[in-house]
Amino acid sequence: MSATLLPGCSFSLGTPYPSGRRLLDLGLWVALATDFNPGTSYCESMQMMIALAVSAMGMTLDEALSAATLGGARALGLQGEVGSLEPGKRADLIVLRGPDERELAYHFGVNLVARTIIGGRPALP
């Protein structure tokens, strides 16, 4: 079971952010999602959700990345098939522009995706 956090809702509605730190410290699996919909979070950017998890929810970048990938897969019961780079799992991933992964939480509001790989094959640009 995963606690799925939707930081875009708090951002859009002006409500307090859930404490990702508290949930992680309690030993819970955490997933991050956008809840993309016009009523509560009209933002489909997972980059922004990662930035909010780090800046407003007390999570480290590594924890936010894990919540956005393996945490989401676990929330859907698909952690054995997707969510991390391991032999035998489906290779769905993105290649990012920037010097390193810290750009995800620091350089928000822009699309850092340089390339998308779906099922181990490059997707069209």
Domain limits at 68?
2-122
Q: What is the pLDDT of residue 91?
A: 87
Q: Name the pLDDT band for 125 (thresholds 50, 70, 90).
A: low
Q: What is the pLDDT of residue 114?
A: 93
- How many Cβ atoms from other residues are within 10 Å of residue 80's Cβ? 11
pTM here is 0.91
Split into its structural domains, the chain has a count of: 1
pLDDT digits (tens, 9 = 90+) for 33-81: 999 999 999 999 999 999 999 999 999 999 999 999 999 999 999 999 9
CATH code assigned at 57: 3.20.20.140
